[in-house]
Structure 1
Amino acid sequence: MTSPSIRQGYLAAAGAVAIWTGFNIVSRLAGKSALAGTDILALRVGTAALILLACGGLPRGALRDARLWLLTLLGGLGVSIFAYCAFKFAPAAHGGLLLPGLQPFLVALAAWPLLGEAPQKHKLPGYALIALGLLLSALPQLGGHDAGQAWIGDLMLLAASVSWAVFGVLARRWGFAAWPLTRAITIMAALLYLPVYLLWLPKHLAEASWGMLAFQALYQGVGAAILAMLFYLRAAAVLGAVKMGVLFALIPILAGLLAAPLLGEPLTASLAGGAGTARREAAGLSGRRVQGLAGPLSAIGRAGRESGPAGPLGEIAELSSGALAPRRSLPPSSLPRARRGTG
């Protein structure tokens, strides 16, 4: 694989980490409003589906592909349903720790039976140190005296984390190109969820301000559902699902650091220590120095401008159209297949 492809993989990883870090902050703000988790999910899939219908629509033959329905249930709905419902019971800080924080371990476990990638022994100490860093960060949050029914939310967050890990591994195994896959699972998620929401679930949209509705729709629907998905799929294709899971261990640390100035949450010594440990070991396991997000994100903008205009969301789709590496031959599908990398 050429070095520009590797560079794009790390740029895409930086974009996914940045958006998912903000996801924790934005979801905490939503939890303080009148909106319920079911409302946020409706805003997310509804906004994303409308945009993607105007940017290519549903890929031909997608509704007949059972693999896409499974990926929709896992990555399009499963993660969001479990996560948003979990915030009714558990503090949002638990989400940062249990959702992306567990990815290094859950992705490695899922990749073993699904991709045949056994955990490498020389990386086990690094995984252990990441776990130590997350534990240091979690102690003041998970060990609070006001736990109540937080364990119910924690179980839902664990289910969301498992759904995301299996989704990432299967997406890499089946090798769909990132752009048509994102369109397929997002639009199919809307087809499944919105009728249920409109007919049977409680709605609190009228109780929230227009500003809150617009902000959540844009961030959850455009940022988390479309851009983060494209970035994640591209990064997992180039770097591998296991390495991407390791980089995701940075999200709970970054979210905790940002919550201090943005939400007024205390920055404890354990959080700072956990940040240093997890960041250092994630960099080592990824095989490349993990730099601050400002530089890579500005480079994403430059890479997009260099690629030239390609229609709505064309620059992001171009960044995300690269090489997935399916592990075995599969039945033909009408969805475009990703190209193999070289080298």
Structure 2
Amino acid sequence: MSETSALSATGATESRLVGVTAALATVCIWAGWLIATRYAMTSSFTAVDIGLMRFVVPFVLLAPIWIRKGIWPKGLSVTNGILMIVGSGAFYTLMVASALEFVPASHVGILLPGVMAVWAVLIAMLLFGERPGKVRIVGYAAVVVGVASLVALKPAGVISDDMLMGYGLVSAGAFMWACYTHAMRQSGLGALEAASFVGFWSFVVMAIIALFTGTTIGDAPMGDIMMLLTAQGLLAGCVAVITYGLAVRHIGSTGASAFGAMTPALTALGGVILLGEPGNLALVLAVVLVILGVMTASGVFRRARI
């Protein structure tokens, strides 16, 4: 092997290592966000408190971007802008946080990526005329079966009204994120630009809501506040944007999506170990089916055969 070829191979290996590391970091942050939110919603915090702490950090840290680009970037349509703010910002956070008051983090970790994948393809079919192939349809079917298997977590398949409400809120949140995904693709914004745009307007919205509802942050333990500011604002709001971008750059969007499908497993594991949530074979089945379904629908296995 020539010196040039050796250097090229070394560079490719290092690039892939960076991508894999960044993807793993992203997935851990996403799972940690759900676990931290579940903890907060079952302690002394409200959904509004979580929203404030989720967006105050990107509002401040990404200020140089929204100051330079403007609070409404040039060329961004009103429709796409509103869908981005609603789909991944204040309203999405309120929806998911409210769901985590009623549903374990292990369930939400399965439902969010699974139902979002189904919503995303339905939107693409209805609005953009996309037609998924047979392999992708099999993947989406596996997701649906995996989500449905969560019913087996309750004795005799009975789910309380509160859990039904939580599942409904999660499904609505997944629909919001699917809308955000399509709007983001059409917006022309980079990852950090989108994060600063959503962070600015979401913090403004949360601050206005807090004026009417009040907040309990001042009465909460400082350790919990710092934990949530770190997990919600710094890691989920800023760091994950960067690490996911690195993952896409070095291992491609398909590879990054494959790692993203690990979120249900990590969230379920964290919910059982850290929060003491119940776990059984039905939960394992749901995790496996959703992971395989999302990976199949995203074309990961097809890419692996090439």
Fold conserved between structures, TM > 0.5: yes
Partners of 2:185 and 2:20 lie apart in 1 by 16
Partners of 1:100 and 1:93 lie apart in 2 by 12
Change (3 A) 1:192 1:258: closer
Does residue 98 in structure 1 map to residue 108 in structure 2? no
Does residue 167 in structure 1 map to residue 180 in structure 2? yes
- Specify which of 17, 21, 45 is matched with residue 35 of structure 1: 45
Task: Answer yes or no: is the 8 Å Cα contact 1:59–1:183 preserved in 2.
Answer: no
Partners of 1:136 and 1:31 lie apart in 2 by 25
Task: Answer yes or no: is the 8 Å Cα contact 1:182–1:230 preserved in 2.
Answer: no
Q: CA deviation at 1:92?
A: 3.8
1:147 aligned residue: 160
Change (3 A) 1:148 1:133: closer
Does residue 222 in structure 1 map to residue 234 in structure 2? yes
Change (3 A) 1:111 1:236: farther
1:201 aligned residue: 213
1:24 aligned residue: 34
Task: Answer yes or no: is the 8 Å Cα contact 1:115–1:169 preserved in 2.
Answer: no
2:4 aligned residue: none
Superposition CA RMSD, Å: 3.3
Does residue 182 in structure 1 map to residue 195 in structure 2? yes
1:84 aligned residue: 97
Partners of 2:274 and 2:260 lie apart in 1 by 21
2:59 aligned residue: 49
Does residue 255 in structure 1 map to residue 267 in structure 2? yes
Secondary structure of 2:160's counterpart equals coil
- Specify which of 63, 69, 72 is matched with residue 72 of structure 2: 63
Deviation digits for residues 109-159 of structure 1, max 9, x if unmatched? 223345543222232122222333343345205976561333223222211
User: Greater CA deviation, 164-173 or 111-120?
Assistant: 111-120
Change (3 A) 1:174 1:227: same
Partners of 1:186 and 1:73 lie apart in 2 by 11
Q: CA deviation at 1:221?
A: 0.5
1:264 aligned residue: 276
Q: CA deviation at 1:248?
A: 4.7
Change (3 A) 1:76 1:140: same
Structure 1 length as normaliser, TM-score?
0.70
Change (3 A) 1:58 1:159: farther
Partners of 2:118 and 2:129 lie apart in 1 by 15
Does residue 239 in structure 1 map to residue 253 in structure 2? yes
Secondary structure of 1:56's counterpart equals helix
Secondary structure of 1:176's counterpart equals coil
Unaligned runs of 5+ in 2: 1-11, 302-306
Deviation digits for residues 49-88 of structure 1, max 9, x if unmatched? 11212x5343424426423343122212221011112233
1:133 aligned residue: 146
Q: CA deviation at 1:100?
A: 2.1
Partners of 1:186 and 1:138 lie apart in 2 by 35
1:112 aligned residue: 125
Give the number of the structure whose residues are more often helix, by fraction. 2
Q: CA deviation at 1:211?
A: 0.1
Q: CA deviation at 1:163?
A: 0.4
Secondary structure of 1:58's counterpart equals helix
Task: Answer yes or no: is the 8 Å Cα contact 2:95–2:170 preserved in 1.
Answer: yes
| 2:65 partner amino acid | G
Partners of 2:130 and 2:87 lie apart in 1 by 21
Task: State percent identity of aligned pairs.
Answer: 25
Partners of 1:124 and 1:85 lie apart in 2 by 31
Task: Answer yes or no: is the 8 Å Cα contact 1:182–1:229 preserved in 2.
Answer: yes
1:211 aligned residue: 223
Structure 2 length as normaliser, TM-score?
0.78
Matched positions, count: 284
- Specify which of 158, 161, 175 is matched with residue 171 of structure 2: 158
User: Greater CA deviation, 185-194 or 259-268?
Assistant: 259-268
